[in-house]
Amino acid sequence: MPINDELIGRRLGVVETSWTSRDTRLYALAVGASGADPEQELQFTTENSAGITQRVLPTFGVIDGGRVGVGGLLRELDDVDLSRMLHGAQEVEQHQELPASAEAVTSGRVTAVWDKGKAAVIETESVTSDAVSGERYVTCRQTLFFRGYGGWGGERGPGAGTPVPEAELDRTLKTTTRLDQALLYRLTGDANPLHSDPAYARGAGFPRPILHGMCVYGVVGRLLLNEFADGDPAAFHSLRGRFSAPTYPGDDLVVSVSGRGPEHRFVVDNQRGERILSDGCFVIG
Count Cβ atoms within 10 A of the Cβ of residue 53 and give its class: 0-12 exposed, 13-18 middle, 19 or more buried: exposed
Q: For 187-234, what is each residue's pLDDT tens digit?
A: 999 998 999 999 999 998 999 999 999 999 999 999 999 999 999 999
pLDDT of residue 82: 78
pLDDT, mean of residues 14-29: 97
pLDDT of residue 83: 77
* Interatomic CA distance for residues 172 and 133, integer angstroms: 41
Task: Give the predicted TM-score (pTM) of the model.
Answer: 0.94
The CATH number that applies at residue 232 is 3.10.129.10
φ, ψ (nearest 5 deg) of residue 58: -60, -30
The CB-side HSE value for 109 (13 A sphere, CA atoms) comes to 8
Give the model's confidence band at 73: pLDDT under 50 very low, under 70 low, under 90 confident, else very high: very high
Interstrand relation of 252-257 and 102-115 (parallel, antiparallel or unpaired): unpaired
pLDDT, mean of residues 132-158: 95
195 is catalytic: yes
Give the model's confidence band at 86: pLDDT under 50 very low, under 70 low, under 90 confident, else very high: confident
pLDDT of residue 106: 98
User: Which amino acid would we find at residue 191?
Assistant: A
The count of structural domains within the chain is 1
Domain that holds residue 254: 5-284
Active-site residue (options: 64, 190, 269, 279): 190
User: Which amino acid would we find at residue 141?
Assistant: R
81 is catalytic: no
Give the model's confidence band at 161: pLDDT under 50 very low, under 70 low, under 90 confident, else very high: low
Q: Does the pLDDT value for residue 172 go beyond 70?
A: yes
Active-site residue (options: 23, 87, 115, 195): 195
